[in-house]
Amino acid sequence: MRISGAEAVIRCLLEEGVDLIYGYPGGAIMPVYDELYKFQDQLHHVLVRHEQGATHAAQGYARATGKVGVAIATSGPGATNLVTGIADAQIDSTPLVCITGQVGRHLLGSDAFQETDIIGISTPVTKWNFQVTEASQIPEIIAKAFYIARSGRPGPVLIDITKNAQFDEFDFSYEKCTAIRSYVPVPKLNLDKVAQAAALINSAKKPLIVFGQGIILGQAEAEFKAVIEKSGIPAAWTILGLSALPTDHPLNVGMLGMHGNYAPNLLTNECDVLIAFGMRFDDRVTGKLSTYAKQAKVIHFEIDPAEVDKNVKTEVAVLGDVKESLAALLPLLDAKSHDLWHNEFKALREVEFNSVIKEELNPTNGKGISMGETIEMINKHSNGDAIIVSDVGQHQMFACRYAKFNSTKSNITSGGLGTMGFALPAAIGAKMGKPEREVVAIIGDGGFQMTIQELGTIFQTQVPVKIVILNNEFLGMVRQWQELFFDNRYASTRMINPNFVAIAEGYHIKSKKVTAREDLDAAVAEMLASKDSYFLEVMVEKENNVFPMIPTGACVSEIRLS
């Protein structure tokens, strides 16, 4: 079949099972859009309002479904506008394939109109990228792109296609990629290492499991649950690991890191064996590395060899697919309960509840609505069954701390890059990927205004996303730091905001603003009962801080309750 490169792009996407892409047209990608028009009954394109929205929406889709998200843009500013979302996907291991148009091959390097070196720009933040200059390259490169994006530790791939390659014709055929020479996405499991890990775990008196998104990416939730239940080991999560284990599971002891729970942070430096599954010992989790878990023997189950011993020295490293590793580990473990060890977690949980949680969920002394009680109200009406997509800031930490999850792939947030503006477009992608589930975006007034234009995407597509703005009229997380560490000098953090409800209504989205506590319950109930998109602005306490907190550069044992 002799076809153009542009038509080949569309046929390749269909061969890979793609049915939904996010993008924004422009001159250098116009031939592909022309072919897309012809295939619109098979491949649905969502017109976002900014290319960054395309990558975040593709991320939300990928995180909610486990599939590869696809974004498309033109050359120059279209391509560079994708970069923030690509960088976010790289550090959070999200599988994306991004396709950009480029000037004709004869114009490369001439500073032609809307030419930019997107290959050079994106190299540090992609798992792989490639510039296509001939139409005949397209099938092989797209096949490789999908294989690389989804295999092993997932990540984003970018394909830049010159305009001549889109117009030229060639004899088309497509073969899916299943292997690439010298690329080993999943290391071979060493059963001796698994046995060594099991021996250490069985001999431990105070073991602690820390788990990350690797459990979710590896589809290993059932195997992980079986391991913790047999071993009786308390398990704490990173924010991207949240929802891999139900939040009300008796062995779930809470969140690690800067604003995590008191017990798992404090007892990290008390455990004798620390077992890490699918997490990379990020600085937000470890705090001061020189004092992190020095008393413990560390076991690291990991798919990416580059993460082993990168930050924390391990006693035993088990490389491989986590699902396979957990299945091999389970029969080697002794059945235990570790009751005395669990009692230490319960005692510290009680301390945190009395010092922080009780007041956060039920504010007294005439205080305004808190972020925590708003999240708790969403729990009440969603029963822990919603996908929560949070932006970045205080509201993100409150959402991660207090949202309830019954099933996996339910917590979607920007972890490693911390991208404000992530949540609104990501929620669009999550809802389109999982239309049967309720999707609630939790956003601050600062981050909302970074991608507020995507309300237009919601209006045009009629995707029924629920949007909750926790408005404290500040860049809250920065303000908290200014209060605690910069003598209350609130430099450039106060927000003078527009009428958000009027803006949402301008996009024909049903909207409500809550300023009084007695109205919150009914407003959240109305929002979640709506069959259409809904915008809810909640005016929250302006100087409400998120605690506990580990100050930057401090040890996890120096976690503060106030």
**Annotated catalytic sites, by residue?**
51, 113-114, 163, 477
- Helices marked H in 330-422: 339-352, 358-361, 371-382, 394-402
End-to-end CA distance of the chain: 68
Amino acid at 404: K
By DSSP bridging, strand 439-444 and strand 510-514 are: unpaired
Give whole-number Cα distances, 503 to 448, 449, 453, 496, 508, in Å: 12, 11, 10, 15, 9
Query: Residue 137: what are its φ and ψ, rounded to 5°?
Result: -80, -20
> Residue 111: exposed, middle, or buried by beta-carbon count in 10 A (0-12, 13-18, 19+)?
exposed
Q: DSSP string spanning 284-339?
A: HHHBSGGGSSTTSEEEEEES-GGGTTTSS--SEEEES-HHHHHHHHGGGSPP---H
Which of 69, 77, 70 lies closest to 26, judged by CA? 77
- Whether the CB-CB separation of 291 and 269 falls below 8 Å is answered with yes
By DSSP bridging, strand 69-73 and strand 96-102 are: parallel
Q: How long is the chain?
A: 562
Q: DSSP string spanning 499-522?
A: -HHHHHHHTT-EEEEE-SGGGHHH
Which of 277, 554, 284 lies closest to 392, judged by CA? 284
C-alpha to C-alpha distance for 558 and 365, rounded to whole angstroms = 29
Q: What are the E-state strand segments in 103-222?
A: 128-132, 156-162, 169-171, 207-211
